[in-house]
Structure 1
Amino acid sequence: MTAALTRPDDRSGTDDPAPDAPAFDSSPRDVGAIGRQRAGDFDAPGILRRQAARESSARTYARSLPIVPVRARGMTVEGADGRRYLDCLSGAGTLALGHNHPVVLAAIRAVLDAGAPLHVLDLATPVKDRFVEELFATLPPELARDGRIQFCGPAGTDAVEAALKLVRTATGRRGVVAFTGAYHGMTEGALAVSGDTAIRDATGAGTGDTIRLPFPQTYRCPFGAGGAEGERVAAHYARSLLADPSGGVPTPAGMIVEPVQGEGGVLPAPDGWLREMRRITAERGIPLVVDEVQTGLGRTGAMWGVDHAGVVPDVMVISKAIGGSLPLAVVVYRAELDRWWPGAHAGTFRGNQLAMAAGQATIAYVREHRLDEHAARIGARLADALREVMAGQPAIGEVRGRGLMIGVEIVEPDAAPDALGARPAAPRLAVAVRREALGRGLIVELGGRHGSVVRLLPPLTMTEVQADAVLERLADAIEAARATYATGSAGSESA
């Protein structure tokens, strides 16, 4: 295999491939009672069996990743069977600093040791004040200067619901412009503006007043153009539809967009197109809502995904990494939209003090160590190396993304390409790649329209040695899966 990265000295699937990272520490003081047990002391098969018997059929990661994590540090997860894995899932992007980072643990312990209240609804506390100050120091200056913040329930979908309610309250309008391939959460309002129809169809959730527009992409361009031309047509279509007095689309309450579609297949919004969406919404008095749940806090190689295009939205939806691995979700928005009355939006767990302390420490660490810049450098290096692998690997259709949010699209290796050079998606082959990667000590997940995009969301603290190991293991997994696939024995996964 040809690779642009230096290969690590140790490529085993059971050892930590980052000798330059802090030593793995499993002492009792860090992990409590579990820390006093060795990996072999756990009944991993029994735990998995009881989970399958008792948990709902809606479980997801547990089906594709049949491991029982018992310890974790940085990018390394140790299973109950004693094997160690490189984690390129990172809690779906939640763990900006990886597992159990010392500054996060110290922040949590400080709150506990101080005897501070852990549950305060929306009361003011020193912990919350420090968190807000740290968060606002990272925002675009226009929002940091006079923006408002609303603490929501614990998940990103709660913040999306709040953002939709906010713009509808402020404008007095109902409709929301959303995009194909989008993912904004699992509650009913968030589902209405998301792209996947399966859950909506099953639950009857419907799309409400959603106006759906095509999201531009190059490899599978919805207009059959691709590149700059596809971007131009997508922007022109959006402008034309919203301006057409006979188009049947009333002026909407807002437009919601992801700077990079994550679940949709790691598709970055083109900078020029995103700037055009900002111009269109500003001209027509439509609040622009940007979903930064997965892209925020350095993930894409900038502090916020919108920073690449220089766009300042009216509303930012923020969750995942800002809680420092604990549940926290907020909406930040322009002051002129703050037309809520007391109690117009609430949530019992919006005062999570441990999450605010962990989040404040995480944001400060990302800023101090410029992890957004580190993510840009090491992410570009890893993506370039994967593209070099792609040149000799017909099972890879495209490598794309930004920073440490990378997608590898798995395609039918022997199929003929379409007019734009794209080959059909290969979801069964992608499942086999994920399984082969896990067998090599690498945790990845799938996404995309057909579930055929291998998604890499490693911690922002990933070292070059760890990046080498990820490249080695993923490239080997793709080749092994392709060989099995060619024999017709790739199979499928279920639990």
Structure 2
Amino acid sequence: MTLATGNALDAKDAVLRRQHSRESSARTYARTFPIVPVRAEGMTVEGADGRRYLDCLSGAGTLALGHNHPVVLEAIRRTLDSGAPLHMLDLATADKDEFTSALFESLPKGFADRARVHFCGPAGTDAVEAALKLMQTATGRRGLLAFTGAYHGMTAGALAVTGNVGVKEPLPSGGEVTRLPYPYDYRCPFGVGGERGAELSAAYVERLLDDPAGGVLPPAAMILEAVQGEGGVVPAPDAWMREMRRITAERGIPLVVDEVQTGAGRTGAMWAVEHSGILPDAMVLSKAIGGSLPLAVVVYREDYDGWQPGAHTGTFRGNTLAMAAGAATLRHIAAEGLAERAALVGARMTARLESLRAALPVIGDVRGRGLMLGVELVDPAAEPDTCGARPADPHLAARVRAACLSRGLIVELGGRHDAVLRLLPPLTITDEQAEAVLDRLADAIEEAATGTEIAGGRA
């Protein structure tokens, strides 16, 4: 080890020690990724110790174009150099007008034609709160319909419609929420899987809502994700999405689709609802729409625009830099066909992961859409359930994550028991980078599953 290398390691360790002593115990990513990033470009992150990593977390899906994309940096520099105000509450600015135009150009046509947008606080959870409040105001109702496996945020209302009990247990109930079964092919709530499982989910929803003794008052809204991200990368079948739209429309229930993680090309379409062709009543958007900077909005049908001035406000709704970066990102994704590229690369990666599943029995399921992929790890020695699914193996998943990091690959976990490896590479990932990701991931899974380090690992 050279003196320079030793100094770099000492500096990194000092930063990590200070973070550990000063930050709250709620920190998450810092626990499993002991990295101090100093530079980043595209898909590559360099730590203070000089190590380089391929980033398949992408800011939890925020970095659609990867780190420090030239289009984003140019938009930020141009805005800074222009002297434009960086903070103007919700006043009209040229940057807001440009972002709104780019956003509306990207929305499904039948939806954009009659849409309004509300700028929220900078996080997706506030946009969820706004959407729920909007529909409660418009309908005069309070109850909400949400799904098993859902994740919508960490504030009170968003947490109430989130499915993960682990983050809810210490807290009081956040309101009247009816929990419905989300179609999860590998771990079907009805024990049948496939199309039949999705059909039963839709039938259950419809019959429950129509049952006068079902205990469900007419709700203010249904909220769902077209692909559950934190829930384990579980894509909803397109036919099921269409059924949810039919069921809600026929009963006058507003349908809110949370596109915080699935939007801006991530799933192989600009917006995940486009796969099924449905037009929701509201879409919740954040993460990638800010071009790596904090920005969140709710876009909704103008019929529901019944708020009084100040009904949902917030100090940081006028993030000029995020609007400039977001407009540039949305237009670049459209101009370069990056959603279509995500579909193509995602299909190739899925095919190779399926081959890996056939060779490694610890891989129970491979699923996803576009560049939103999940690999569920299981105990192959355990008895399968009625759908053929074996118990999740969170300890193996944690070992694989660590083995990936040692090979210069950043992946995070999610899903039930944190046993799903989640791949969220930037839409700009090259073919060579995709192969490198899969090589490193394959080595890491094999090493973690067998306890044998791969000789001459590919990191």
Asked if 1:126 is matched to 2:97, the reply is no
Q: Note the alpha carbon deviations across 1:54-92, whole angstroms, 9 max, x for none.
A: 110000000011111110000000011101000000000
The AA in structure 2 aligned to 1:155 is: A
User: Shift of residue 248 of structure 1?
Assistant: 1.4
Partner of 2:8: 40
Asked if 1:367 is matched to 2:334, the reply is yes
3-state SS in 2 of match to 1:183: coil
Which residue, 413, 428, 432 being the options, matches 2:395? Answer: 428
Partner of 1:174: 142
Distance 1:439 1:241 in 2: 49
The AA in structure 2 aligned to 1:54 is: R
Distance 2:244 2:19 in 1: 45
Q: Note the alpha carbon deviations across 1:453-492, whole angstroms, 9 max, x for none.
A: 0000000000110000000000000001111299xxxxxx
- The 1:374–1:38 alpha-carbon spacing in structure 2 relative to 1, beyond 3 Å, is farther
Answer whether contact 1:156 1:317 (CA < 8 A) is retained.
yes
Partner of 2:45: 77
Asked if 1:305 is matched to 2:266, the reply is no
Partner of 2:263: 296
Asked if 1:194 is matched to 2:162, the reply is yes
Asked if 1:325 is matched to 2:292, the reply is yes
Distance 2:452 2:204 in 1: 40
Answer whether contact 1:104 1:324 (CA < 8 A) is retained.
yes
Asked if 1:478 is matched to 2:445, the reply is yes
3-state SS in 2 of match to 1:298: coil
Distance 2:395 2:343 in 1: 31
The AA in structure 2 aligned to 1:228 is: E
Q: How does 1:244-259 map to 2 (within 5 A)?
A: 244-259=211-226
Answer whether contact 1:297 1:322 (CA < 8 A) is retained.
yes
Which residue, 101, 104, 110 being the options, matches 2:78? Answer: 110
3-state SS in 2 of match to 1:436: helix
Partner of 1:286: 253
The AA in structure 2 aligned to 1:214 is: P
Distance 2:240 2:216 in 1: 21
Asked if 1:236 is matched to 2:197, the reply is no
Asked if 1:274 is matched to 2:241, the reply is yes
Where do 5+ consecutive residues of structure 1 fail to align? 1-36, 487-495
The AA in structure 1 aligned to 2:216 is: V
3-state SS in 2 of match to 1:104: helix
3-state SS in 1 of match to 2:179: strand
Answer whether contact 1:254 1:288 (CA < 8 A) is retained.
yes
Q: Note the alpha carbon deviations across 1:260-287, whole angstroms, 9 max, x for none.
A: 0000000001111110000000000000
User: Shift of residue 118 of structure 1?
Assistant: 0.3
Which residue, 379, 394, 410 being the options, matches 1:412? Answer: 379
Q: Aligned pair count?
A: 449
Partner of 1:348: 315
User: Shift of residue 39 of structure 1?
Assistant: 9.1
Asked if 1:460 is matched to 2:427, the reply is yes
Answer whether contact 1:39 1:80 (CA < 8 A) is retained.
no
The AA in structure 2 aligned to 1:354 is: L
Q: Note the alpha carbon deviations across 1:423-482, whole angstroms, 9 max, x for none.
A: 110000000000000000000000001100000000000011000000000000000111
Runs of 4+ in 1 over 4 A off after TM superposition: none
- The 1:39–1:390 alpha-carbon spacing in structure 2 relative to 1, beyond 3 Å, is farther
Q: CA RMSD in A?
A: 1.4
Distance 2:170 2:9 in 1: 42
Distance 1:269 1:347 in 2: 33
Partner of 1:33: none
- The 1:259–1:377 alpha-carbon spacing in structure 2 relative to 1, beyond 3 Å, is same
Distance 1:52 1:138 in 2: 42
The AA in structure 2 aligned to 1:264 is: G
Q: Note the alpha carbon deviations across 1:199-256, whole angstroms, 9 max, x for none.
A: 222122x141101101011110000010011011000000000111221111100000
Answer whether contact 1:39 1:70 (CA < 8 A) is retained.
no
TM score, norm. by length of structure 2:
0.96
3-state SS in 2 of match to 1:391: helix
- The 1:133–1:485 alpha-carbon spacing in structure 2 relative to 1, beyond 3 Å, is same
Q: Note the alpha carbon deviations across 1:129-184, whole angstroms, 9 max, x for none.
A: 00000000011112211200000000000000000000000000001100001000
Q: How does 1:43-82 map to 2 (within 5 A)?
A: 43-82=11-50
Answer whether contact 1:290 1:313 (CA < 8 A) is retained.
yes
Answer whether contact 2:192 2:386 (CA < 8 A) is retained.
no
Which residue, 150, 160, 163 being the options, matches 2:131? Answer: 163
Partner of 1:380: 347
The AA in structure 1 aligned to 2:105 is: A
User: Shift of residue 416 of structure 1?
Assistant: 2.6
User: Shift of residue 41 of structure 1?
Assistant: 8.2
Distance 2:210 2:26 in 1: 42
- The 1:417–1:39 alpha-carbon spacing in structure 2 relative to 1, beyond 3 Å, is farther
Distance 2:88 2:386 in 1: 58
User: Shift of residue 93 of structure 1?
Assistant: 0.1
Identity of aligned residues (%): 67
Answer whether contact 2:256 2:282 (CA < 8 A) is retained.
yes
- The 1:39–1:184 alpha-carbon spacing in structure 2 relative to 1, beyond 3 Å, is farther
Distance 2:84 2:385 in 1: 61
Where do 5+ consecutive residues of structure 2 fail to align? 454-459
Distance 1:47 1:79 in 2: 12
